[in-house]
Structure 1
Amino acid sequence: MKTLLTYLSLVFLLLFSACKTSKDLSQLPVKTKRGNYRAVIEIPAGTNKKIEYNKDKKKFVVDQRDGKDRIINFLPYPGNYGFIPSTFSNPKLGGDGDAADVLVLGESLKTGSIIEIIPIAVLKLIDEKELDYKIIAIPAELKDQIMDAQNYQGFYSNYPEVIKILESWFTYYDKSQVLEIEGWGDETEAILEIEKWSSGL
């Protein structure tokens, strides 16, 4: 009888925990306890599916266009694409109404990965008169870094070709959009961009 009660209690506990809603990743703190910024990865580097985090459903879904999965008909994503949690680019201030975008340069990470990052630059894009800035970052963990660039100066000096690749990729990856490149900002501007959109939350 005792064993049966223990078993039933365990089953009830498992069922109860399965019914609980998962944590909303969009509301994670902007920074970690170590003081690094945090990124939630939606689209792994080297893939073409346009995956987005649905904060209402608390899950990752493939974006839809005309009722079909949105597949980027271009070269795959050149880095791990996602967002900075607890940010909101307010349309009243020229933002696009989404969380701050981030591209993490490193080896491919799974959808749903949460990673500590170091912002090293910001690519300033204009999409139909809305600011569509992309934070460019590297993993904070030294073992996960693949580039010798801790800031914009190192990035610009050591990888000018990567800068050209990113400009071209973001300009041409979506034929339905007309994006303009406004320029680049350094790591200080990247951090100010994150803080700008996190201050209102």
Structure 2
Amino acid sequence: MKIFPFGIYLGLFLIFSACKTSKDLGKLPTKTSNGNYQAVIEIPAGTNKKIEYHKTQKKFLVDQRDGKDRIINFLPYPGNYGFIPSTFSDPRKGGDGDAVDVLVLGESQKTGSIIEIIPIAVLKLIDENEFDYKVIAIPAQIKDQIINVENYKTFSSNYPEVIKILESWFTYYDKSQVLEIKGWGDEADAILEIEKWISKP
């Protein structure tokens, strides 16, 4: 009976120790050692809570609007939504002040998952007169892929319906915003968008 309380204290100590030493996911390398880009997943595919990673608190929280959890009152996210680590789209250079956004088309991933991705396109949006580009990617792991694409050419030719769905979803998912679609870029444009905003150490 004397061991049980000690076990609780030890467990709590280890938990709090782990929280204090948790690394900032926003500062993970943009690429892995094998050359693939990385994505940190905030919002799993098929869910509708607007979850964001807070780098100061080093945890994922549901975004708040008017003191309430921000719920997407529309169809759920059509892919795994997150960001490319160690990127920052500088507002002084036309960015939106956040890390580069990415939508990964694949099996649903848990919040906090870190996955290797292959950029295949970029959806170019204007949000309140600011550029708001969304990199579209697929998982690098074949087992997590759900569509058979290699680049923007095969994406647009094999899945034109998906492109229409993504355009409609990003246009209408948030009634409080007015988004304007400026078009699409291919995989080279997507990579250029990522590389443009990589944070310097």
Compute the TM-score of the two structures, normalised by the length of structure 2.
0.92
Tell me how far apart the structure 1 counterparts of residues 62 and 77 of structure 2 sit (CA, whole Å).
Answer: 15
Correspondence 1:1-201 to 2 at 5 A: 11=10, 14=14, 17-18=17-18, 20-198=20-198, 200-201=200-201
Q: Deviations over 1:64-86 (max 9, x none)?
A: 00000000000000000000000
Tell me how far apart the structure 2 counterparts of residues 196 and 102 of structure 1 sit (CA, whole Å).
Answer: 15
Q: Deviations over 1:167-196 (max 9, x none)?
A: 000000000000000000000000000000
State the SS of the aligned residue for 1:182.
Answer: strand
Compute the TM-score of the two structures, normalised by the length of structure 1.
0.92
Is there any run of 5+ residues in structure 2 with no aligned partner, and where?
1-5
Relative to 1, partners in 2 of residues 1:146 and 1:17: Cα closer, same or farther, differing over 3 Å? Answer: same
Identity score, percent: 80
State the 1:144 CA deviation: 1.2
Relative to 1, partners in 2 of residues 1:114 and 1:15: Cα closer, same or farther, differing over 3 Å? Answer: closer
What is the letter of the counterpart of residue 111 of structure 2?
T
State the 1:16 CA deviation: 7.5
How many residue pairs align between the two structures? 195
State the 1:163 CA deviation: 0.2
Tell me how far apart the structure 2 counterparts of residues 15 and 188 of structure 1 sit (CA, whole Å).
Answer: 43
8 A Cα contact 2:86 2:199, kept in partner: no
Q: Please give the root-mean-square deviation of Cα atoms over the aligned residues, in Å.
A: 2.0
Is there any run of 5+ residues in structure 1 with no aligned partner, and where?
1-6
Deviating 4+ runs (over 4 angstroms): none
Relative to 1, partners in 2 of residues 1:45 and 1:15: Cα closer, same or farther, differing over 3 Å? Answer: closer
